[in-house]
Amino acid sequence: MPTLGVNIDHIATIRQARRAVEPDPVAAAVLAELAGADGITVHLREDRRHIQDRDVRLLRQTVRTHLNLEMAATDEMVAIALDIQPDYVTLVPENRAEITTEGGLDVVGQRDRMTAIVHQLQDANIPVSLFIDADPAQIAASAASGARFIELHTGQYAEATCEADRQNELNILAEGCDRALQAGLQVNAGHGLTYWNVSPVADLPGMEELNIGHTIISRAVLVGVERAVREMKHAIRGER
Ligand SMILES: CC(=O)[C@@H](O)[C@H](O)COP(=O)(O)O
Ligand SMILES: NCC(=O)COP(=O)(O)O
């Protein structure tokens, strides 16, 4: 069974909506680990829309499992990673206008740059994962770059609107997973996975880790509402 990396970006999204101090993703990481998370994932976006530099620095000191830093392949981000030393880095594509990550990296089209960044990070003992679509050419280019891992982008699978499309996307992921393993890569997957669609991806032979965020934080918000309201009633009565 794959391990679970919990993406806590979405906690920071709530905090940044008010530029407030709560909810703190560092506290969320502690709770996620206590509940059995095998790793903590954060995406330090160039526009800092959710996770902040301060979060990554504190998480480096507090995370007891492993810290996966998702980031764009830019000089600024590479310098931050070299300074903070996460347990591994996942290079992801970024587009300022997007609501969330829209596709995988074009490793084929940026072969030299990707290879240089992979070597720079891995020479500093930071293993690199490349977030890509399950495309044979991207998998081959990822293996050639020397990256230790890939993360298969599961967005198209998650967004499939009928069973036939979902099965087709799952087959693509299965073939990609198999091909990557044969090329010597370790295989993670993530994006858009939910409580309802995760199981077939988790069952793919050789899958190492699933990075999941939005559905977990969405559920956490709902299952926590009753308790939070009860606690506020106590607070109003001066009982806490
Ligand atoms: C690369 C990836 O799939 C995650 O980073 C996910 O996109 C969560 O971050 P955003 O919500 O900022 O897209
Ligand atoms: N890399 C995928 C990730 O970290 C979580 O994506 P999501 O579950 O928030 O869509």
pLDDT of res. 97: 85
pLDDT of res. 25: 98
Ligand 2: which atom is nearest the Cα of residue 212?
Answer: 8
- Alpha-carbon gap, residue 154 to 132, rounded angstroms: 9
Instruction: Say how many Å lie between the CA of residue 235 and the centre of ligand 2.
Output: 35
| Residues acting as catalytic residues | 43, 70, 191
Site to probe by mutation for ligand 2, drawn from 42, 98, 193 as the one with most ligand atoms within 8 Å of Cβ, is: 193
Ligand 1: which atom is nearest the Cα of residue 192?
Answer: 3
Cis peptide bond upstream of 23, omega within 30: yes
Ligand 1: which atom is nearest the Cα of residue 155?
Answer: 3
18 is in an annotated binding site: yes
Q: What is the 3-state secondary structure (H, E, C) of 195-226?
A: CCCHHHHHCCCCEEEEEECHHHHHHHHHHCHH
Supply the angle between the helices 111-123 and 75-84 in degrees, to the nearest 10. 20
pLDDT of res. 177: 98
Instruction: Say how many Å lie between the CA of residue 198 and the centre of ligand 2.
Output: 12
pLDDT of res. 161: 96
Site to probe by mutation for ligand 2, drawn from 100, 195, 214, 216 as the one with most ligand atoms within 8 Å of Cβ, is: 214
- Which residues of the chain register pLDDT less than 70? 240
- Alpha-carbon gap, residue 72 to 13, rounded angstroms: 18
ipTM of the predicted structure?
Answer: 0.94
pLDDT tens by residue, 36-48: 999 999 999 999 9
